[in-house]
Amino acid sequence: MKSPVIKRSIVIAGHKTSVSLEDAFWKGMKEIAVGRDIALSDLVALIDTGRRHGNLSSAIRLFVLDHYRTQAGEGRAARDAAARARSAALRAD
């Protein structure tokens, strides 16, 4: 059985390293990099400099997870605000 983890090489601050991640995390990182208009290697460098412990692969997984959790929270907050506005409008009628 083939492992879902994919090992890729990337250059960070002029140093070549390899990172093993599931394809979903690679895709998530690419989406985040495009959304921020930065190169994937620059995003990985930012994650690398910001990590406090653990390996780079784990830091990337946590970064991607946090990014999408934040997006989900912002979406939920917007939906809740819209629901409150609808409710207030119905009460005013």
CA distance 38 to 45: 11
Q: Within its chain, how far is the Cα of 13 from the centroid? A: 21
Residue 11: give the domain boundaries. Answer: 5-92
What are the C-alpha distances in Å from 64 to residues 14, 27, 47?
23, 10, 10
CATH number, domain of 84, equals 1.10.3990
pLDDT computed for residue 58 by the predictor:
93
Q: At a CB cut-off of 8 Å and minimum separation 6, what does 9 contact? A: 16, 17, 18
Residues of the chain with confidence (pLDDT) below 50? none
Number of structural domains in the chain: 1
pLDDT computed for residue 3 by the predictor:
59
Which pTM does this prediction carry? 0.75
